[in-house]
Structure 1
Amino acid sequence: MDKTNKWAEELLLLRQIIEPFPFEETIKWGSPVFTFNGKNVISFAGFKDHFALWFFNGSHLEDHASVLIATQGDKTKNLRQWKFTDRSQIEESVLKQYIQEAIDIEQKGLKIIPGKKEYLPIPALLQFALDQEPVLKKAFEKLSLAKQNEYNEFIHEAKQDKTKLARIEKIKPNILGGKSLHDQYKK
């Protein structure tokens, strides 16, 4: 819940504000997650420089106080976070409005409908590696377009060529095994 033991009082205050709402509390990813009708609604945790409350379906919140952020910009589709650096920033009445709105959103069943995914071209360094190793190229071509695109994105995201080359070496075994980028993390 608090990775630094710095925000214990603040997180206790958030918990006290949340407790009256009709949530079921679970632990996921090492933090308390408050669910409503089996759906993740909110969670909170403490970090080095801040503590935060996040709303899993937060993109639907009206955000009247302009406090919510998408932590990874355009990559974050639905999750919204409210960061705090001081206890005085917690406005209980405003927070309760946001929590109630989050519950209302779950009751309405609002969800993000993902748009059609754009596929990236094969990065030049990956294409070079594929051209140099016919077995790797054949294995890559056997992968679904979605799996190929996972690898393309992974390489495109690296800013430096040396990082791209290191990533290419890292993904070769998965490609040769016909696996997706994150198969090792799936059960």
Structure 2
Amino acid sequence: MNKKVETYLENLTNWHSELKLLRNIALSCNLEEDFKWRNPCYTHQNKNIFLLFNFKEYCGITLFKGALLKDEKSILVQQTENMQSARQLRFKNLEEILENESLIKAYIFEAIEIERLNKKVKTKSVSEFNFPEELTEIFDKNVDFEEAFYSLTPGRQKGYLLFFDKAKQSKTRISRIEKYRNRIFDGKGINDCVCGLSKRMPNCDGSHKQLET
């Protein structure tokens, strides 16, 4: 058992019983317990299998490669339309978890087998993402910026393309591109730490907020 997980559970104001039960189910599946991304994380031979999470309306499990599960009961949830790999098992009360314990274990064991076989989720390539016209126009005017963008890892490129394209108005897309211009030149992704204080490098964990007070 991981002490950070113990602390996490002790400090919960809701979903305490539900997540404690899910934790026991995870440990009964012979998974190692860790604490990553501010959540209990369960691994098999150092490979991530799933996280426990809690939101206002529900709690549950996020399976890292949930998209590869058969999901014969059609209970897995795709959190957002752009979520390509992870899928969630969501619960709204303790009874739901108790009633579905055998099914939860079956999904966990399937996820472990997927990782054991080293199966990969086929994700969209950068070229398959919608490319905002405004970004193309800026590239035409600034070759150095274009080179900086394409020097980013594919994952970082996808993150920016999704964020820029999500804006409904052209002026908003332009504003977003300009706002993140320096970050792109620095080789940073949209969620990367730029203040140097994060304890979850290279990801931002909100530590920069203490600089704003």
Q: Cα offset for 1:4? A: 5.9
Higher RCO (C-alpha 8 Å, min separation 6) = 1
Asked if residue 142 in structure 1 is aligned to residue 147 in structure 2, the reply is yes
1:52 match: secondary structure? strand
My pick for the range that moved more, 36-45 or 95-104, is 95-104
* Structure 1 partner of 2:205: none
Q: Structure 1: how far apart are the matches of 2:176 and 2:15? A: 36
| Aligned match of 2:90 | 83
Shift of 1:138: 3.2
How do 1:22-37 and structure 2 match up within 5 A? 22-37=30-45
1:184 Cα offset (Å): 4.4
Q: Which residue of 2 aligns with 1:16?
A: 24
| Cα 1:143/1:94, change in 2 over 3 Å | same
Q: 1:14 to 1:120 in 2, by over 3 A?
A: closer
**Residue 70 of structure 1: which of 52, 58, 78 is its match?**
78
Where do 5+ consecutive residues of structure 1 fail to align?
none
How far did residue 30 of structure 1 move? Answer: 0.8
Instruction: Say which of 164, 176, 183 aligns to 1:174.
Output: 183
Deviations, residues 47-81 of structure 1 (Å, cap 9, x unaligned) = 111102111121221112211012122x2222110
1:116 to 1:84, Cα distance in 2 relative to 1, 3 A: same
Which amino acid letter does the alignment assign opposite residue 89 of structure 1?
Answer: E
| 1:109–1:180 CA distance, 2 compared to 1 (3 A) | same
* Conserved 8 A contact 2:27-2:33: no
CA-CA distance at 1:116 after TM superposition = 4.0
Return the index of the structure with the highest Cα Rg: 1
Asked if the contact 1:51/1:84 (under 8 Å) is kept, the reply is yes
Preserved contact between residue 139 and residue 146 of structure 2 (Cα < 8 Å): no
In the alignment, the residues of structure 1 paired with residue 130 and residue 68 of structure 2 have an alpha-carbon distance, to the nearest angstrom, of: 32
CA-to-aligned-CA distance 1:13-64 (integer Å, 9 cap, x gap): 1112222112111100111110001100021121111102111121221112
Distance 1:82 1:76 in 2: 14
How many Å separate the matches in 2 of 1:183 and 1:107?
29
User: Which residue matches 2:114?
Assistant: 105
| Contact 1:171–1:181 under 8 Å retained in 2 | no
Q: What letter is aligned with 2:74?
A: S
